[in-house]
Amino acid sequence: MRTQMLELGQSWDVLQARLHQLSAEDANWRANRLGVFVFDPGPEVLQVAKDAYGLFMSENGLGASSAFPSLMQMEDDVVSMGLNLLNAPESACGNMTSGGTESIFLAVKTCRERARAQGKDTRDAEILMPRSAHLAFDKAAHYLDLNVVRIPVGSDFLADTKAIENAITERTLMLVGSAPCFPYGMIDPLPELNDLALSNNIWLHVDACVGGYFAPFARMNGAELTPFDFELEGVRSVSADLHKYGYSAKGASTLFHRTEEQREHQLFSSSDWACGEFGTPTLAGTRPGGAIASAWAVMNFLGTQGYRRKTETVIQTRLELQRGIESIAGMEILGDPQLGLLIYRSIDLDSRSIHHEMMQRGWFSPLLCEPDAIHLMLSPGHQNVIDEYLQDLNNSIESVRLDPGIDRRSVSRYN
């Protein structure tokens, strides 16, 4: 039945209680039971993200260049900080967007418009990428009337550069590498993709939605990571999400371009309507001021030192879980994780069934299907539940081992 709007509104006390009641059915991220969707930096940072959002909740980024210079200043600051973290040259620039999908959409759109402006026929144009790249590229291609060509990853779960090279044709419009990719959590061999991009004069986009505000701090802490950012000359654009490991409130990502000339092709403006000149840098019209202020506040609250500590906590948590999982007979970690994602499976039992048992015990995380494996994206908050998680994993494995035949109906789906 359709919900009918109440004739008389209810008090906030009543509604607040109802909201709490509704959330009781949700996966319990506050108790760190969620290995996806939420990035919990702890109560202090969450409060900053929330309060800053609240302060600018009504302000509109659509008016950043007129009514709200505050938002313009904050977006400039956030973009500048991001560019510095990603070794961008002086010529580089960027924008805040609503999320990774919008950042990727705009990168693809910009690449297509620029190619057209250079007289290229983009009717059969292709985005060439490893199979591990995010579906947001397929979505962008769908909207923009382009094609996606996915090339299987190697046995190390990384982009197979040789196979990608062999797939380059006249139609190739964009190359993509991830830092890291979402399914396997590892950084693609971007120096090799960079060589391909340069020698074939193809736009290389780096999807650092997960790693953009994590990998730079891991590196500062001493991790030896594959180069992935603007230090590689062929990297034309980078997407990096603030609402993931940037710990900002949701609705915040960044898209960076190597040059202003490139970004010209991202912008939209027209005056062909009743209100005169109307220009927007991104897809959105109205843009939530809260998301901009939240990102700005969290970045300035944490600073480099704060992010480095959070990053270290996540990596130590991942290492402890990794050791715990590897010490269970028959369990293996996929590939060689370096950041905050950990993917594991059973060699002899059905990983889907183990996943199902974990879900029954209140642990919510995605189930991969290539191959069947359990996926965990870790937050600092997970350091509090390592022992509990491993205990439940042991129990789950035991349940499956004792009774492998029952239909646990685990489905592999991301959302």
Contacts with ligand PLP by CB under 6 A lie at 99-101, 104, 134, 136, 178, 181-182, 207, 209-210, 241, 253
3-state secondary structure of 113: helix
The residue written with tokens 């990603």 in the block is 86
Neighbours of 28 (CB within 10 A): 13
State the minimum distance, in angstroms, from the CB of residue 8 to ligand PLP. Answer: 38
Residue 43's φ and ψ, nearest 5 degrees, are -60, -35
State the minimum distance, in angstroms, from the CB of residue 182 to ligand PLP. Answer: 4
State the minimum distance, in angstroms, from the CB of residue 210 to ligand PLP. Answer: 4
Distance CA 77, CA 330 (A): 49
Q: Which is nearer to ligand PLP, 68 or 245 (CB)?
A: 245
Distance CA 350, CA 328 (A): 15
Q: Which is nearer to ligand PLP, 88 or 209 (CB)?
A: 209
State the minimum distance, in angstroms, from the CB of residue 273 to ligand PLP. Answer: 29
Q: Which is nearer to ligand PLP, 104 or 302 (CB)?
A: 104
Which residues are CB-neighbours of 225 under 8 A, at least 6 positions away? 187, 215, 218, 219, 338
- What are the strands of the beta sheet with 93-97, ordered from one edge? 93-97, 253-257, 235-241, 203-207, 172-178, 126-130, 147-151
Q: Which is nearer to ligand PLP, 181 or 343 (CB)?
A: 181
Q: Which is nearer to ligand PLP, 71 or 133 (CB)?
A: 133
Per-position DSSP letters for 16-80, written without gaps between them = HHHHHHHHTTS--GGGT-BSSS-----HHHHHHHHHHHHHTSS-BGGGTTTT-HHHHHHHHHHHH
State the minimum distance, in angstroms, from the CB of residue 180 to ligand PLP. Answer: 7
Q: Which residue is nearest to ligand PLP (CB)?
A: 100
State the minimum distance, in angstroms, from the CB of residue 44 to ligand PLP. Answer: 24
